[in-house]
Amino acid sequence: MDKRVYIRTYGCQMNERESESLAAILVGSGYEIANDEGAADIILLNTCSVREQAEAKAIGKSNLISRGKNREKIVGIIGCMAQNLADILPKKSPNARLIVGPNRIEKVPAYLDQLLRDSNRRIIDTEMGAIDPHFAAARDEKKVKTSMFVSIMQGCNMGCAYCIVPKTRGPERYRPMEEIVREVRWLAERGTKEVTLLGQIVNNYGANCMPYVNGKSPFVQLLEKIQQIDGIRRIRFLSPHPKGFKSDLIDAYQNLPKLCPQVHLPLQSGSDAVLRAMKRPYGGEQFLAIVGALREKVPTIALSTDIIVGFPGETEADFEKTCDFFDEVKFDMAFIFKYSVRPRTAAARLGDQIPREVKEARNQILLERVERYSRRYNELMVGEAKEVLVESWAKRGPRRLEGFTPERKKVIFAGTEDCIGQTVDILIESCTTSTLFGRIV
């Protein structure tokens, strides 16, 4: 049998980055990466567990593969769902011969070797070890692009009542600072201009083992080191937690010119009672204080968030408070999620109290509000010249390029191939809620 692997990724940016590392180490072990399922002998699904729907989708997909022309292929389920459902997956996805949690993905090539030798085997690995330094930094040199993700830590020590992630990814473990810096330098030498640092709670980096230096947290120290790397023009990170968003990080927006004026800061709810029930260790006032301090430093900073509607006990009045929060902060983008009970989380014992129709209605109301403020934010840019970092050809339209402003707003404009990887000044001429359109000036 040939050794061609197709990797399909569900879920967050962390999964995307891990699929990228996996592809690189598979190539290093003599496998080929296929661009589509049909051309592959092995299909790996890198899965997510954050909501029930994400799990149902991946299980459905693995069962679909076992029918028809793909029957002969090896199917593997890796990532968070493999960890979360390891005991029932052999029954639910009987064709999956490889089940590997997100902390053991570096073992996948060796496991595939074994499965290819022995067609009767199934391998399950849900160990929770230290971060493998080789895997964390693994990359295919040919796949280096203008903007890249860099994972700086693994796991999460918070105990948000709704969240399965601490169960699937385990406790926080951090990569050494010098390893991360070396990786970013390596990327910069190969043309990367923008890095997005990834972690479940990225600003918690180093929290329980690295010292503060001159009043600066290990995370801010890391940002300062990356600021000094030649070739890197933009630094972003995903996702911070309000708890660790202290003045040293807020000051960084003034002190570090490469740090982009954009923050994705999950609020989850605008009601203090719901935040308490969710075990989120802050209230609305604290969140507003962070927003105020950020806007004082950078008035046009882009602020986006995550919200869960329909958490058990969320009353109409609680929901109103979340809506009021949108009117006050005017997030320019938000992901709204309908609460999904995750077995084994603290909130699971509260059941699913809010009827589906109510969640749906609240979701709809917030989506309209998000759209209103996204449009407003984009409209304010029309008529301005923005520095755009060009990433690729746009999907639609001939000879049109796609890039991003420092606020990470997508811009489409007419241009030539040599713009890719460069920053160009674009006069913004029009917009939709999600995209800006303009021309080179």
Of the pair 12, 226, the CB lying nearest ligand 5AD is at: 12
Q: Whose CA is closest to 86, among 122, 41, 112, 119?
A: 122
337 binds, among ligand 5AD, ligand SF4, none (CB under 5 to 8 A by kind): ligand 5AD
Minimum CB distance to ligand SF4, residue 204 (Å): 9
342 binds, among ligand SF4, ligand 5AD, none (CB under 5 to 8 A by kind): ligand 5AD
Handedness of CA 95, 101, 105, 107 (dihedral sign): negative
Burial group, residue 283, by CB count within 10 angstroms (0-12, 13-18, 19+)? middle
Footprint on residues 255-294 left by ligand 5AD (CB under 6 A): 266, 268
Our finding on whether 163 is near ligand 5AD (CB under 6 A) is yes
Minimum CB distance to ligand SF4, residue 130 (Å): 19
Our finding on whether 166 is near ligand SF4 (CB under 6 A) is yes
Minimum CB distance to ligand SF4, residue 163 (Å): 3
Residues 336, 291: Cα–Cα separation, whole Å = 19
Q: How many CB atoms lie within 10 A of CB 254?
A: 11
Residues 100, 108: Cα–Cα separation, whole Å = 8
166 binds, among ligand 5AD, ligand SF4, none (CB under 5 to 8 A by kind): ligand SF4
- Number of chain positions touching ligand 5AD (CB under 6 A): 12
Q: What is the DSSP letter of 268?
A: B
Our finding on whether 245 is near ligand 5AD (CB under 6 A) is no
Q: What is the DSSP letter of 343?
A: T
Q: Pattern 340-379, binding to ligand 5AD, x per CB under 6 A? A: x-x-------------------------------------
Our finding on whether 161 is near ligand SF4 (CB under 6 A) is no
Our finding on whether 200 is near ligand SF4 (CB under 6 A) is yes
Minimum CB distance to ligand 5AD, residue 117 (Å): 39
Footprint on residues 231-270 left by ligand SF4 (CB under 6 A): 241
What interhelical angle do 177-189 and 218-227 show, nearest 10?
A: 20
- Token readout for 61 is 């997909």
Q: Which of 144, 158, 346, 427 binds ligand SF4 (CB under 6 A)?
A: 158
Q: Which of 17, 51, 61, 175 binds ligand 5AD (CB under 6 A)?
A: 51
336 binds, among ligand 5AD, ligand SF4, none (CB under 5 to 8 A by kind): none
Q: What is the DSSP string of 397-437?
A: STTEEEEE-TT--EEEEE--GGGTTSEEEEEEEEE-SSEEE
Q: How many residues does the chain have?
A: 441
Our finding on whether 308 is near ligand 5AD (CB under 6 A) is yes
Minimum CB distance to ligand SF4, residue 7 (Å): 23
Strands 153-154 and 234-238: unpaired
Q: What is the DSSP letter of 73?
A: S
Half-sphere exposure at residue 237, Cβ-oriented, CA atoms within 13 angstroms: 26
Contact 39, 3 (CB under 8 A): no
Q: In what order do the strands lie in the sheet containing 302-309?
A: 262-264, 302-309, 333-338
Q: How far apart are the first and last CA of the chain?
A: 55
Our finding on whether 162 is near ligand 5AD (CB under 6 A) is yes
Of the pair 244, 261, the CB lying nearest ligand SF4 is at: 244
Minimum CB distance to ligand 5AD, residue 282 (Å): 14
185 binds, among ligand 5AD, ligand SF4, none (CB under 5 to 8 A by kind): none
Return the ∠ at Cα 13 (arms to 323 and 347), rounded to 5°. 50
147 binds, among ligand SF4, ligand 5AD, none (CB under 5 to 8 A by kind): none
**Which positions touch ligand 5AD (CB under 6 A)?**
50-51, 162-163, 266, 268, 306, 308, 337, 339-340, 342
Contact residues: ligand SF4, CB under 6 A: 156, 158, 160, 163, 165-166, 200-201, 241
